[in-house]
Amino acid sequence: MNRTLRTLAMALGLMLLSTPVFAADEAAPLVIFSASFGAAVTILGAGYGFAKIGSAALESIARQPEAAGDIRGSMIFAAALLEGATFFALIVCIARG
């Protein structure tokens, strides 16, 4: 699984790095594709991050019910940081498109 994810990340990186080269030949749709593709990857990553945060928080609360308040606060703080980074990435993707 780890090797598959590494290969997928490398292919994705190469595709994103090669998009400006394709766009240099007056191919405007490729520029729009890169912004929309970046926004899609951002949303997918944020969804995975939120799911991971929620899963870890619920598991922690199940193991230590007396620490539920502290865990919940930490989860909300981490989710807020993730949301801010996601909005920043979306703004960059939309502004570049």
Low-confidence ranges of the chain (pLDDT < 50): none
- Count other Cβ atoms within 10 Å, centred on residue 34: 20
Contact 86, 42 (CB under 8 A): yes
Helices vs strands, H then E, count in the chain: 3, 0
pLDDT of 39: 81
pLDDT of 3: 74
pLDDT of 37: 78
pLDDT of 62: 94
Q: How many domains does the chain have?
A: 1
The CATH number linked to 31 is 1.20.20.10
Range(s) of the domain holding residue 62 = 2-96
pLDDT of 2: 74
User: Cα(31)–Cα(24) distance, rounded to whole angstroms?
Assistant: 9
pLDDT of 97: 59
